[in-house]
Amino acid sequence: MKKRPDLPPRMRGRPARRLTSAAVLGRFELPVCTSCGHVQYPIGEICGRCLSDDLSWQPVARNGTVLATTVICHATEAYFQKNRPIRVGSIKLDIGPVVFARLGQDVLAAGQRVKLSNQLDRSGEAILCASAEETTKVENVLADPNREIEGRTVLVTGANGGIGRALVSAFLEAGATEVIAATRSGDAKEFSGAERVTQIALDITDAASVRRASETIGHRVDILVNNAGFTAISGFFEGSDTQGARREMEVNYFGTLEMLRAFAPHMKARRQGVIVNVLTVLAHSCLPSMGSYCASKAAALSLTQGVRAELIPWGVRVCAIFPSTVDTPASVDSPPPKLAPRRVAQEIIRMIRDGEEDCYPGDIARDLIAAIRKDAKTVEREMALALPEPD
Amino acid sequence: MLPKEYSGVVVCAPVSTVRPRTTRRTVSWFLGSVLSQLVSRSGIGRYEIDGIVVASYGLAPDNAASLAEYFGLEPSFIMDIPYGGASGVMAMSRAARAIQAGDAEVVACMAADIAPSGYGIYSNFSSATRDHIYPYGAGGANATFALITANYMAERGASAESFGSICVAQRYNGARHKLSMFRKSLTMEEYLGARVISDPLRLYDCVPRCCAGEGFLVMSEDRARSLGLAFARIGGVIERNAGYASDPIMRRVGISRDRERLYSQASLGPEDMDFVQAYDDYPVIVMMQLEALGFCAEGEGHRLALEKKLTVDGDLPLNTSGGMLSLGQPGAAGGFLGLNEAIRQLTGQVLGEQVPDVRAGVVSCFGTVNYLRGLCCNAAILKEGVRS
């Protein structure tokens, strides 16, 4: 393998690293003193105004005024030397602190009103960025090529499923040059004759099939969506054997792993690429009525974290989406409310474009992950209560 | 209330090492070279040095204690002051107080750094620079001072020529100095035509890195006289760290509010200063120091720079050695250059051109650029003692 790409510095202190976990979800959060309300930046663990150590990370107002700007024309890090000139400035936030930020295209002069965002750089670390106050979309201030969809080739596995079909049309609408729809048959009728859609036959549980696909199309896949999944909708003690549970593991965990092992090397070689793993919020907390499915997705979540760490140094971003129940044929027996597949597909597109890493689409997934982060045990007990009373 | 006088304590034996652009030597080698020169220049026995103050960014994992062991000293007073450009006056004042308190008799103040190959120390200079500056593309203090300079220009109406006049004068002074990296002086056309480093900073606003050590001795006047050493007296010292934190962008140096205290200690005024040695990592900071020291009103430093003749033969001799712009910036040892030049001017031991009839001068230090501003500021008035 050739030399790794030059990437921006990854070193951060632990308190400041928390900024990255907000950037992963596209959030602008800073530590706020619980005692006196002082907003802390530079980030530390002690309130600079009242010396309290009771700080809480909160979403804060992101507007401010430019104090001064400069264009860095000479850099010491190879990454910045290659990507110069780099526009930076100091911004006085309305909520108090002065922040050093990368500047968006339309941020030109001192005195200008701006809106801050917290974006991931190519090392996957947080960088504060300033865009003109009237900007509505999340500007690609750091010029990350992994945030482009126009002109890209996208491979979607499980393309004939509910989310898969929505993904194919969403990527086409978003301007992808080509969407490769992978299904087990390779001739799904919904894609026949569709412009910019290529069909391939792919069984992700068959290593030979995955290898063939990678040899044929791997070199041109910029974005891989590991969407193919399987659920037996079964508790751990249901059925006469563990076949369903094994099948879930085969598809959701080993199938995804085969795909990553086959396709990531092409992306690494190009120092660019995006992989999206379609998981579920239940990867974080087991719903016992479909416990073995949750276990397989928990395995896929762990896989996602591991490959992300291995691929970031090569310029490849690994994203994950964690929906609650999605309205697909596979979830016909699940109770409402259900997310529309189209919504999930659009959120994946948005996550890529906004440079985020994780996405919890819809209120249910968002509330559930917040509850799990606050008190995982309470959620576990509530999940247990969802099981029918024993006879 | 004014601080206790520095009477009875003197500074002497200014020494400088070689100053290559790069080196395969360690920081300790440069510090050893400083100590060796301090001993040979002063004629003092090595074991008579019972205090050491060390300023260095690159000495870690070593420190003043490990250096003492390395160099065979058994000091009763040791101190590490990793405060870069502010370290000269800081080392002197702490050494002087230790001597007055009886904690030591002869203190060697030493500073050295080497230009790092590859990644700079800036990547891990402080938590704030590591977390909030370096990952944004700023490899050193250039971007921070570009913002400060841009704001000073907008707020005070400073022109590029006003910064250039400081640089041109310093390179004129440097061209006459033995240790200068440049024999050639600089023209305003060359200054203005130089490539942009970080807008509005051009090449000659930024100082060239080098590897070097600097040092001097602090001891009682009696001791200096018995050794037959030329010396200068300490007329007064002020220091202010992390000052004016509520200024959203740096527009003055911390000692601005302490000026009266400085001149009162020495019973002198700015008009009595025969020279100014001001830390010169960027011309905008030189202007702010001139303002703080009372050579003009706040915000008028750029006018002063155009009105006065700042060369060693001018009416406001500034950085008479040529400053770091000529001698290079050896990390924390850059903070010693102004003080050593002041001692040399006052004791008649110049390596460049002598300012005529010097009686007193002011040294101002500035350093430790943390989050978008420099934190450490101090200044001292040195008076004539015994010339060589």
Same domain? For A86 and A215 the reply is: no
**What tens digit of pLDDT does each residue of B156-209 get?**
999 999 999 999 999 999 999 999 999 899 999 999 999 999 999 999 999 999
Please confirm, yes or no, whether A253 is among the known catalytic residues. Answer: no
Flag whether pLDDT at B118 surpasses 50: no
The b/e string for B250-284 (b: 16+ C-beta within 10 A; e otherwise) is bbbbbbbebbebbbebbebebebbbbbbbbbbbbb
A89/B131 CB distance under 8 A: no
The nearest CA of chain A is from the CA of B346 a distance in Å of 39
CB-based contact B140 A76, cutoff 8 Å = yes
Q: What CATH code is carried by the domain that includes residue B339? A: 3.40.47.10
Report chain B residues whose CB lies below 8 A from the CB of A127.
135-136
Cα angle at B331 between B328 and B333, to 5 degrees? 80
Task: Using CA coordinates, name the residue in chain B closest to A129.
Answer: B136
Residue B131 inside a domain? The answer is no
Q: How do residues A255-295 score in pLDDT, each as one tens digit?
A: 999 999 999 999 999 999 999 999 999 999 999 999 999 99
A100 vs B139, B140, B372: nearest CB: B372
Question: Is B237 found in the same domain as B369?
Answer: yes
Distance from CA of B63 to the nearest CA of A (A): 24
Please check whether residues B265 and B376 belong to one and the same domain: yes
Q: How many domains, chain A? A: 2
Q: How far is B62 from chain A (nearest CA, A)?
A: 23
Residue B314 located in a structural domain: yes
Tell me: do A154 and A196 sit in the same domain.
yes
Q: Calculate how close chain B gets to A101, using CA atoms only, in Å.
A: 7
Average pLDDT of the residues in A233-252: 94
Asked if A116 and A38 sit in the same domain, the reply is: yes
SS3 state of residue A69: strand
Range of the domain at A101: 14-142
- Same domain (yes/no): A90, A49: yes
**Does any domain span residue A1?**
no
Query: Are the C-beta atoms of residues B275 and B318 closer than 8 Å to each other?
Result: yes
Nearest beta carbon to residue A100 from set B132, B140, B195? B132
CA-nearest residue of chain B to A69?
A: B147
**pLDDT tens figures, A335-365:** 888 999 999 999 999 999 999 999 999 999 9
* Other C-beta atoms lying within 10 Å of the C-beta of residue B356: 9
The closest CB to that of B147, out of A68, A77, A127, belongs to: A68
A16–B131: do the CB atoms touch at under 8 Å? Answer: yes
Higher per-residue pLDDT: B115 or A169: A169
The yes-or-no verdict on residue B119 having pLDDT over 50 is no
Give the CATH number for residue A278.
3.40.50.720
* Domain membership flag for residue B121: no
Q: B130: nearest CA in chain A? A: A12
CA atoms of B101 and B88, how far apart (whole Å): 20
Q: Which among B136, B150, B200 is the nearest to A102, CB-wise? A: B136
**Cβ–Cβ of A12/B130 closer than 8 Å?**
yes
| C-alpha pair distances (Å), B312 with each of A19, A238, A285, B287, B366 | 51, 93, 75, 17, 22
- A166 touches A344 (CB < 8 A): yes
Q: How far is B124 from chain A (nearest CA, A)?
A: 9
- pLDDT at residue A335, as a whole number: 80
Residues of B with Cβ-Cβ distance to A49 under 8 angstroms: none
| Residue A151 CB neighbours (<10 A) | 10
Mean pLDDT of A92-96: 97
* Mean of pLDDT values over B118-131: 75
Tell me the chain A residues in contact with residue B122 when contact means C-beta distances shorter than 8 Å. Answer: 76
A1 pLDDT tier (thresholds 50, 70, 90):
low
Identify the sign of the CA torsion B95, B96, B101, B105: positive
Q: Please indicate whether, in this complex, the C-beta atoms of B151 and A68 are within 8 angstroms of each other.
A: yes
Whether residue A97 is preceded by a cis peptide bond, meaning omega within 30 degrees of 0, is no
Q: Is there a contact between A98 and B248 if contact means CB atoms under 8 Å apart?
A: yes
B143 with B93, same domain? Answer: no
Domain boundary pick from A120, A142, A164: A142
How far is it, in rounded angstroms, from Cα B360 to Cα B156?
A: 30
A7 within some domain: no
Residue A115 lies in a domain: yes
B376 and B314, same domain (yes or no): yes
Considering only CB atoms, B138 lies closest to which of A83, A88, A99, namely A88
| Residues whose CB is less than 8 angstroms from the CB of residue A37 and which lie 6 or more positions away in sequence, other chains included | none
**Of these residues, A268, A293, A338, A360, which one is catalytic?**
A293
Same domain, A152 and A252: yes
Domain closes at, from B197, B227, B257 = B227
Give the whole-number percent of chain A exceeding pLDDT 70.
99
CATH number, residue A126: 2.40.50.840
Instruction: Provide mean pLDDT across the span A15-31.
Output: 97
| AA letter at A330 | A
Residues of B in Cβ contact (< 8 Å) with A11:
123-124, 130, 134-135
**A:B CB pairs within 8 Å:** 117
* Chain A residues inside the 8 Å CB shell of B129: none
Q: Please report which confidence band the pLDDT of residue A33 belongs to, taking 50, 70 and 90 as the band edges.
A: very high
- Residue ranges in A3-103 assigned as alpha helix (H): 14-23, 78-83
Same domain, B195 and B237: yes
- Min distance A277 CA to chain B CA atoms (Å): 28
Same domain, residue pair B144 and B91:
no
Which of B127, B129, B130, B136 has the most A C-beta neighbours within 10 Å, making it the best mutation to test the interface with A? B136
Instruction: Compute the nearest-CA separation of A48 from chain B (Å).
Output: 11
Q: B12: part of which helix (H) or strand (E)?
A: strand B9-16
Structure tokens at A169: 């049309």
Answer whether residue B261 shows pLDDT above 60.
Answer: yes
Tell whether A44 is covered by a domain.
yes
Question: Most A CBs within 10 Å: which of B119, B144, B198, B204, as the mutation test of the A interface?
Answer: B198
pLDDT of residue B121: 64
The verdict on B177 and B219 lying in the same domain is no
Whether B241 and B324 share a structural domain: yes
Q: Which of A100, A117, A129 to mutate to test the interface with B (most CBs of B within 10 A)?
A: A100
| CB A127 within 8 Å of CB A79 | no
Q: What is the pLDDT of residue A233?
A: 86
Give the pLDDT mean for B292-302.
Answer: 98
Asked if residue B355 and residue B241 are part of one domain, the reply reads: yes
Residue A190 lies in a domain: yes
Give residue-wise pLDDT tens across range B134-164: 999 998 899 999 999 999 999 999 999 999 9
Average pLDDT of chain B to the nearest whole number: 96
Instruction: Determine the Cα–Cα distance for residues A11 and A373; give it in Å rounded to an integer.
Output: 25
Residues A105 and A178 in one domain: no
Asked whether residue B186 falls in the same domain as residue B215, the answer is no
Share of chain B above pLDDT 70, in %: 98
Q: Which of A142, A160, A178 is the last residue of a domain?
A: A142
Nearest to A387 by CA among A235, A218, A206, A203: A235
Q: One of A115, A268, A297, A338 is an active-site residue; which one?
A: A297
Is residue B16, in this structure, part of any structural domain at all? yes
Instruction: Please check whether residues B34 and B58 belong to one and the same domain.
Output: yes
Residue written as tokens 């944004």?
A: B136
Q: What is the pTM of this model?
A: 0.94
- Residues A213 and A137 both lie in one domain: no
Question: For residue A388, what pLDDT is reported?
Answer: 78
Is A92 labeled as catalytic in the residue annotation?
no
Kindly state whether residue A2 falls inside one of the protein's structural domains: no
- Which residue among B192, B227, B262 closes a domain? B227
Which residues of chain A have a CB within 8 Å of the CB of B157?
A: none
Report, as an integer, the average pLDDT of B210-239: 98
Q: Which of B121, B125, B126, B132 should one mutate to test binding to chain A, selecting the residue with the greatest count of A CBs within 10 A? A: B132
> Residue B166 is part of which domain span?
136-206+233-386
Q: Which residues of B touch A102 (CB under 8 A)?
A: 136-137
Distance from CA of B147 to the nearest CA of A (A): 5
In a domain, B155, yes or no: yes
Report if residue A391 sits inside a domain.
Answer: no
Whether A314 shows a pLDDT value over 60: the answer reads yes
- Helices in A60-112 by DSSP H: which ranges? 78-83
The three-state secondary structure class of A345 is helix
Kindly tell me if the per-residue pLDDT of A59 is higher than 60: yes
Specify whether A226 is located in the same domain as A333.
yes
Does some domain include residue A159?
Answer: yes
- Are B17 and B76 members of one domain? yes
Element (H, E) at B382: strand B374-386
Are both A203 and A316 inside the same structural domain? yes
Three-state SS string over A251-270 comes to: HHHHHHHHHHHHHHHHHHHH
As for how many domains chain B has, the answer is 2
The residue out of A122, A142, A162 marking a domain boundary is A142
| A186-221 pLDDT tens trace | 998 989 888 999 999 999 999 999 999 999 999 999
Best of B122, B131, B142 to disrupt the A interface (most A CBs within 10 Å) is B131
Query: Would B127 be classed as within a structural domain?
Result: no
> Is B170 domain-assigned?
yes
Q: Are residues A256 and A352 in the same domain?
A: yes
In this structure, are A365 and A255 located in the same domain? Answer: yes
Averaged over B362-384, what is the pLDDT?
A: 96
Search chain B and give the residue with CA nearest A99: B132
pLDDT reading at B120 higher than 60 = no
Domain assignment present for residue B163? The answer is yes
A253 and A154, same domain (yes or no): yes
Whether B198 and A71 lie within 8 Å, measured CB to CB: yes
